[in-house]
Every structure is written in C-alpha cells, then in structure tokens.
Structure 1
C-alpha cells in the first residue's frame, strides 16, 4: 500500500516540475512534422460556413420593419419639413439593410441593377420567398 502512495507522490511531483520548469524549444524535425500535419489536415478538413445567428436575423428583420414604418409615415404626412431628403435617407438605409439581409439569407443579388424600386422589389420578393417577414 505504501508503494502506491509513493508512486502517486512521484507522479504528482513530476507533474509539478513539468509545469514549473521551462519547456525546451521544439526541434527542427518536430516543427517540420507539425507544419506538414497542419497542411494535410487543412486539405482534408471540410470548410463549412457557419449558419447565421437567428437572433441576428430577427434583429435585422426588426430594423427593416422599423424603417419601413418610418418611410410610410413620412410618405403619408402631407406637410413635413425636408420630406424629400428624409425619404432619400430612409430609402438608402432601407436599401442597405435589404442588401445585408440578402447576403445573410444567401440571395444572389443582381449587381447590374441600380438602387431603386425595381431592385428593392426583387430583393423583397426573394426574402419573402425564403420566409422573411417584417
């Protein structure tokens, strides 16, 4: 029984010494082996894109709904100071959020279309077909 206690004490002291003493730098062949193993494992490993966080999607949908409500409010108000400028700013922000939502949902956007009603309508339709709502 004493020899088990001595063996455990020996292993404990060896572990402590290993933690306290500085480690020697790895030799050249170990570094070469490690770099080649990393290269091979990098080729064999599948690269997958992580799925977007559902809370980021929900946050983006909420922001789109908020901006859409502001645009409707500005359009429906007959007398408002700098109405055209407000609409242009709100629509630019809405278009940027739509572009971000399309990237997040994996919608292929047509780069040849300029910003405007047609591109906005197509992006909204694509997002709605993928289950987005705002």
Structure 2
C-alpha cells in the first residue's frame, strides 16, 4: 500500500515539474514524426480552411500616402518651374515613380487594376479617384 502512495506522489511531482520547467527541445524521433505526420495534416487543413488574407499594416498605408504626396509635390514643382535642367527627363522619371506608387497603393487598397507600363493620364486619374473614394488622401 505504501508503494502505491509513493508512486502517486512521484507522478504528481512529475506532472508539477513538467508544468513548472520549460519544455525541453523535442527529440530527433519526435521531430521526424511531427515532420511526417504534420505535412499531410497541415496540407489537408489548409485545403479545407484556407488561411485568411493578411490585413495590411496601417503604417505601410501611411508611409505610402506620404510618399505619394511627396512625389506629387515634386511633380508640381517641376511642372511649374519653366527653366529647369533636363525638365522632360525629370518629369518622366517622377511620373513613372508616381505611377508605380499608385499601383502599389491600389494593390494595398484592393482596387482592381490592369497592369500597364506606360500609364495614361486617364488611368492615373481613374486610380486616384478610386483611392480617394476609399478614403486615401495625399
């Protein structure tokens, strides 16, 4: 009878130590089994319930709006200055950067767009209107 009590006390102490002490790293056999069993189960889980779409970081949105505002200001400055060295090249480079940022902003805001490298004024205006309708300001 005394050995049953001592066995019970030993098991209780083992459980308490297991709760208190940090978990030891898994053994090699346990890692191998988790890798083999976890693979098909994880694939089945993602097939039955796909992971949710990640929520965009609001600071990324704010950073992008700030960059759009800065580029728009630079474009206005280059357009309003009549005598500037390499004005056409600067304007083309600034507009290309602005178009790339607009595409990134549309992707972040969920605006459906068609990729077109030489952006037209109409496409740029349309993207700006879609973004402003979704609450974007710059």
Q: C-alpha displacement at 1:126, in angstroms?
A: 0.5
What runs of 5+ residues in structure 1 fail to find an aligned partner?
none
Whether 2:10 is the aligned partner of 1:7: answer: yes
Normalising by structure 1, what TM-score?
0.76
Q: Which residue of 1 aligns with 2:98?
A: 94
Normalising by structure 2, what TM-score?
0.74
C-alpha separation in 2, matches of 1:47 and 1:103: 19
Q: How many residue pairs align between the two structures?
A: 129
C-alpha separation in 2, matches of 1:72 and 1:24: 63
> What is the CA deviation profile of residues 5-59 of structure 1, one whole-angstrom value per residue up to 9, with x for unaligned ones?
x7279628x969x949x83625x98876544433332223232111100000000
Whether 2:51 is the aligned partner of 1:76: answer: no
Moved over 3 A (4+): 28-36, 111-114
Report the RMSD for the aligned CA atoms in angstroms.
3.4
Q: Which residue of 2 aligns with 1:44?
A: 48
C-alpha separation in 2, matches of 1:105 and 1:80: 35
Q: 1:25 to 1:53 in 2, by over 3 A?
A: same
> What is the CA deviation profile of residues 92-129 of structure 1, one whole-angstrom value per residue up to 9, with x for unaligned ones?
00000000000101111134684121111010011011
C-alpha separation in 2, matches of 1:113 and 1:86: 18
Q: Which residue of 2 aligns with 1:119?
A: 123
- State the secondary structure of the residue aligned to 2:85: coil
